[in-house]
Structure 1
């Protein structure tokens, strides 16, 4: 495994204790991100139909603390308060997701729900009044339940058609003010955790279904892009793209087999979605490895998906060392197919980075620089946004302890330094969104983990309390000297 001291000599930028607004281009912006199911609540209000997560959270044993998003952090009723927080902290953009079942409760597009349109119009207008640019995600995992029950959800090719109808309605309703659209958030997580491990909705376990679900998400993305470009782009002047996630894969050693394994891991992770958008088909190594499990695109579909993006979003949290292996876990078809071992230690046994609350999340900022540069070099230097980046705390401490989130401040310093360096390396990175504005419902982990810059007091009226990291961002964005950072 790599020697820590030798490896980190190549990343001196991480040891500069200060990061400032001037480390980024003048047009570069900073924002915060959330998603609808995790924050909105109001599950039975405003004409909203149920989503697959409403059903999934009611299945016994699916959520760590047996919670759900019925109320979440009540953003539906508190959006003005939350947007005011965004403005006070100095963020210039807000990435939020639209709940498909608030626009079309049955998912089919038969009748638009005007109450849902009004809700998102109110959010968009309030953002613009405060000088904050809206970045809207059309799909952040909350498929209308009726589509799952009636046609099989992402396993049915028709879902791409219905996604196109939904996207069209959003473009028509909001596109005069929303100038940046994200079609789908992290399709890999939907595919693998929803259809392989079963830890996300709809909670299925299969060796073939993840690839079918992914295939239809790619087609749904491209369908929405085609509609936007043919009907709205010229008039509205916006841009549209896809958000992928990437745990950076660093070779465990200089052995050829480990270097190939790391590249294979990236092809299965990033290439699964970016290769079709750039080349019109899946990576060759996926075709060779998965054979008939991997669906085929028709020539017409290849033409539809190729170049179907104006920008790409990258969600990144952590990294791993990767080694080739034939001793593969029986309980995870996806990693078994890749033939890789994910390693979280240096050669001396020290963790790859300080661990956050989630067992998968280690603080290793160098991976973000490498991921951004890799995408830039592999995929013709597209416009890039870091659309999610952050870390979580365990929900165990007192309010004072939770607000004094020193590790999160250090996390953001290191990762922003990595973004700055990636830009110097030539990556076309245009903006950065911290995850998340608020502590919220964290999927299968419920409310046991806290990713927010703002603490939400779940036991006392869901009151909001900005953490030290929020104030650190405020100083950074307003150009103030990071005095507290020097003391940390």
Structure 2
């Protein structure tokens, strides 16, 4: 027996900024995602939209680029077609996000945008009609651009107030339609998705790292406030913290590598330690002191963090990491594991890493968990007879679901598995379409051309069988 519960949720995950498009419809404001350009000559492994300085911010905001996330895959106007296709695959849940700028176009308005609220009324109601449970992320790399320019994003404490107001509006509005809420997407990726996550412009004045940790602290406090608000609205609502798994193994048995991995991992646990345990651990305070980082953590902050810990842990897992300890500057270095195969974007394939990380998180926290994202991008080939034969994707997901089942057998309380993404969407890091994750081929190219046809891949039928068997066909 695979020990997966009968009420387990099989599904997928998307983000509004990568799927919806219609960036200026129904009074929507500009978000950080709307100024991410597609750079066709960028290296496949390059994340060119991470830490933006003023020059690049102005260039991207005002430049003459193709901005794929402004059109996405037209989910905004075609959501019924997409939801129908997911229902045909027997998907049971879809994790998706609300675009902050549809509800508060600038982020600091007094009143929300009713047209944006009505859109999500219709979307969530249609999902429920089709038997698909929404799991909603409140902030998924789509901060109002106005908050970036006026307040420098999350580095300004006022942003906590703006976000809490936005969160209360959507929690109250959709409390009968949405049970599970993730406050912030991959809160620990503030150093790898700096601009998208924190909305801070690097002014090259030597203050950027400290600003990042101040912004992160403000996100911690905001997350706790959202939990408090949710409890006041409806105690049945479940509020989650989400991590991108960055846990490492040592590159070798050299003590320097072993110690580097240990110290690196502890600072990865830091984020969930704060939001699941309710306080800043001493090792993190020591890290701040050793690196000259000062954060104003008030007594009120400590109280709200302690009293409003998250209900569940959501984890995204794609690939694993190894660490070398001797980088020349005293800092650990992430290096490729030579034992693993990689895709065209340099992401290694290691299903056992999913088993290890979910087991470690369970052993540490003992809270319900979900796999919020799992997948790998491939450059799929659409045949002349409109087929995609993606055995490589089936193999990837089969291995990772097997790993999840192993963790469940060991006692881990995992209640959902969400593939990233169930249909092709614009890439988060590189803003391209050819990096495809879906079980459904969406016929748009990197320039947004195509008829938008939704074409089931071979993996579509395989995943439907997995869902129908509640995972038992995997064993």
After TM superposition, is the score higher than 0.5? Answer: yes
SS of equivalent to 1:357: coil
Alignment-derived partner of residue 89 in structure 1: 89
- For 2:465, which of 475, 480, 487 is the aligned residue? 475
- For 1:408, which of 384, 393, 413 is the aligned residue? 393
- For 1:445, which of 406, 430, 434 is the aligned residue? 430
Separation in structure 2 between the aligned mates of residue 49 and residue 396 of structure 1, nearest angstrom: 36
Alignment-derived partner of residue 134 in structure 1: 134
Alignment-derived partner of residue 214 in structure 2: 212
Alignment-derived partner of residue 270 in structure 2: 272
Quote how far apart the aligned CAs of 1:423 are.
Answer: 1.1
Alignment-derived partner of residue 50 in structure 2: none
Map 1:17-416 to 2 at 5 A: 22=2, 24-57=4-37, 60=59, 66-195=66-195, 204=202, 206-229=208-231, 231-234=232-235, 237-269=236-268, 271-291=269-289, 292-306=292-306, 307-328=308-329, 339-345=331-337, 351-359=338-346, 361-379=347-365, 381-394=366-379, 403-416=388-401
Structure 1 unaligned blocks of 5 or more = 1-20, 329-335, 346-350
Quote how far apart the aligned CAs of 1:23 are.
Answer: 5.5
Structure 2 unaligned blocks of 5 or more = 38-56
Quote how far apart the aligned CAs of 1:479 are.
Answer: 2.6
SS of equivalent to 2:25: coil
Asked if structure 1 preserves the Cα contact closer than 8 Å seen for 2:36 and 2:60, the reply is: no
Deviates more, 1:176-185 or 1:463-472: 463-472
Asked if structure 2 preserves the Cα contact closer than 8 Å seen for 1:369 and 1:419, the reply is: yes
SS of equivalent to 1:142: coil
Asked if structure 2 preserves the Cα contact closer than 8 Å seen for 1:268 and 1:286, the reply is: yes
What is the RMSD computed on CA atoms of the aligned residues?
A: 2.7
- Distance change (3 Å), C-alpha of 1:61 and 1:110: closer
Count, aligned residues: 442
Separation in structure 1 between the aligned mates of residue 350 and residue 167 of structure 2, nearest angstrom: 36
Separation in structure 1 between the aligned mates of residue 101 and residue 401 of structure 2, nearest angstrom: 35
- Distance change (3 Å), C-alpha of 1:400 and 1:209: farther
- Distance change (3 Å), C-alpha of 1:443 and 1:215: same
Quote how far apart the aligned CAs of 1:369 are.
Answer: 0.8
Separation in structure 2 between the aligned mates of residue 399 and residue 201 of structure 1, nearest angstrom: 43
Quote how far apart the aligned CAs of 1:201 are.
Answer: 5.9
- Distance change (3 Å), C-alpha of 1:294 and 1:374: farther
Quote how far apart the aligned CAs of 1:294 are.
Answer: 4.8
Separation in structure 1 between the aligned mates of residue 194 and residue 406 of structure 2, nearest angstrom: 35
